[in-house]
Amino acid sequence: MAISWILFTLMAAFMQAWRNAFQKQLSVTVDAYGVTLARFIFAFPLAGLYLSFLYYQQPVSHIVSFHFKFWLYVGIASLSQILATILLVQLFKQKNYAIGVGLAKSEAILAAIIGVALLGEHLSLLAWLGVFLGAFAIFLLSKGGIQSTKFSWNTLIIGTGSGLCFAITSLLVRQASLQLDMLPVLHRAAWVLFTITGIQCFVLLFFLLIFKRATLWALWNRLGLVFRISFSSCVASMGWFTAMSMQSVAIVTTLGQIEILFSLLISVYLFKEKLVSTDHWGLFWVVIAATLVIWA
Q: Which residues contact 190 (CB under 8 A, 6 or more apart)?
A: 47, 50, 51, 54, 238, 241
pLDDT, mean of residues 1-16: 86
| d(C-alpha 215, C-alpha 109), whole Å | 35
Query: In total, how many domains does the chain have?
Result: 1
Instruction: Tell me the per-residue pLDDT of 208-233, one tens digit each, with 9 for 90 and over.
Output: 999 999 999 999 999 999 999 999 99
Distance from the first to the final alpha carbon of the chain: 15
Instruction: Tell me the per-residue pLDDT of 110-156, one tens digit each, with 9 for 90 and over.
Output: 777 777 777 666 667 777 777 777 667 666 655 544 444 555 667 66
- Determine how many CB atoms are found less than 10 A away from the CB of residue 118: 9
pLDDT, mean of residues 286-292: 63
Q: 112 and 250 in contact (C-beta within 8 Å)?
A: yes
pLDDT, mean of residues 232-242: 94
- Alpha-carbon torsion, ordered 73, 75, 76, 81, to 10 deg: 110
For residue 202, pLDDT over 90 is answered with yes
| d(C-alpha 77, C-alpha 74), whole Å | 5
Q: Which residues contact 49 (CB under 8 A, 6 or more apart)?
A: none
Instruction: Tell me the per-residue pLDDT of 242-275, one tens digit each, with 9 for 90 and over.
Output: 998 888 887 787 788 777 777 777 766 666 656 5
Q: 40 and 204 in contact (C-beta within 8 Å)?
A: yes
Decide which of 1 and 245 is more confident: 245
Render 212-244 in DSSP notation, one character per residue: -HHHHHHHHHTHHHHHHHHHHHHHHHHHHHHHH
pTM of the prediction?
0.83
Domain span at residue 267? 4-295
- Determine how many CB atoms are found less than 10 A away from the CB of residue 221: 11
| d(C-alpha 138, C-alpha 98), whole Å | 10
Q: Which residues contact 154 (CB under 8 A, 6 or more apart)?
A: 94
